[in-house]
Amino acid sequence: MLPKFSSNAFGIAEGTHLGRKIALVTVIILFTATVDLEARDGIREWVVLENCRLIMNPANDGDSFHASAGDKEYLFRLYLVDAPETDALTPARLIEQAKYFGITVPQAIEVGETAKAFTREKLSQPFTVFTHMTDAMGRSKMERFYAFVQTKDGDLGEQLIRNGLGRNYGFKAVPPGLRNSRLEVEKLQQFEDAARQEKIGGWGVNAGRLNANAQRPVSFSVFVAEKNAPARAFPHTFHRISAPPLLRPSAATVVSAQAKKSHAKETIELGRIDINTGTEKELRMIPGIGPVMAARIVAARPFRSADDLKKVNGIGEKKYAKIRPYFQ
């Protein structure tokens, strides 16, 4: 007579000695696999690329971008952070992001563009990349790697989320200097909650606060600063690669450059800029136009005339009256 069987949580037959053995072996295998994955992540060496520079590329966005370290080019994708898409090439993902922020799909794209400009500004100076060279896939033919990115202001992902330009979502990894990802995930959630409460970035689109900055000062992680901590504080080892340092101009050169820049902004001629051909750099020379607004103007081209500036999101009557005289 055959023994009776019942099904447990693992879907494995019980009721016999053999069934119990199978269940036990299954649990051991699952546990071993989990430990193995964590162990592999824990012992893999961090590759630290220092003195990196942003490479301008049309495919760059808020959480993914091209960068150079020395003479090599890389494509990186941020861990733990997801900024809205800047186009409709992946509609399902874009709809999901819009739903997350409680906004429309066109608004989500606008948040994505703002996040892209934010990242471009933060990476305008040399930065440090921490990566395991883990494949982040993506649409590009170039291999993309997950990474933590440290700017002069701290962790880029944290800054995006704190300003409402990204969500606490995505591929996880233990940040360098920490023993698990939980602490960083919790910190990101606190930043996201604060941005939502202040209604800034994607959380403030409907309130006209897309470009509002975080109100309260926050402490952003600077993992690279922890490299001098006691060795026992690190669960990972580091392999550092430093790109050639930037040329350091003399103090006189710096003062001269700053003076020229200030002078240029003060003496920019009225009616000088063509609305359809002016560069972002030229647009940013106009009082009242920052990097985000300059990017919006470029994205809205072509214009029939500079009078169409009123159609650009964020340009109201007062701003229009202020900047219109600078265009042809």
Q: What is the 3-state secondary structure (H, E, C) of 234-303?
A: CCCCEEEEECCCCCCCCHHHHHHHHHHHHHHHHHCCCCCECCCCCCHHHHHCCCCCCHHHHHHHHHCCCC
Q: What is the mean pLDDT of residues 278-298?
A: 86
Q: End-to-end CA distance of the chain, in Å?
A: 95
Task: Report residue 45's pLDDT band, with 50, 70 and 90 as the boundaries.
Answer: confident
Write out the E strands in the chain: 6-7, 13-14, 46-55, 64-69, 72-78, 81-82, 127-131, 144-151, 154-155, 167-168, 238-242
- Highest averaged pLDDT of the listed ranges 37-41, 266-270, 291-295: 291-295
Query: Cβ(157)–Cβ(148) under 8 Å?
Result: yes
Q: What does the pLDDT read at residue 115?
A: 97
Q: What does the pLDDT read at residue 29?
A: 42
Same fold, 46-242 and 251-326: no
Taking the alpha carbons of 12, 13, 15, 17 in that order, is the dihedral positive or negative?
Answer: negative
Q: What does the pLDDT read at residue 215?
A: 82
For 11, phi then psi, to 5°, come to 75, 25
Q: Does residue 134 carry a pLDDT above 60?
A: yes
- Highest averaged pLDDT of the listed ranges 43-52, 199-208, 287-296: 199-208
Average pLDDT of the chain is: 77
Domain 46-242 matching CATH 2.40.50.90: the answer reads yes
Closest CA to 166 of 87, 100, 233: 100
Q: Does residue 27 carry a pLDDT above 50?
A: no
Q: What does the pLDDT read at residue 90?
A: 86
Residue ranges of the domains in the chain? 12-43, 46-242, 251-326
Domain 251-326 matching CATH 1.10.760.10: the answer reads no
**pLDDT tens-digit map of 76-103:** 999 999 999 999 888 889 999 999 999 9
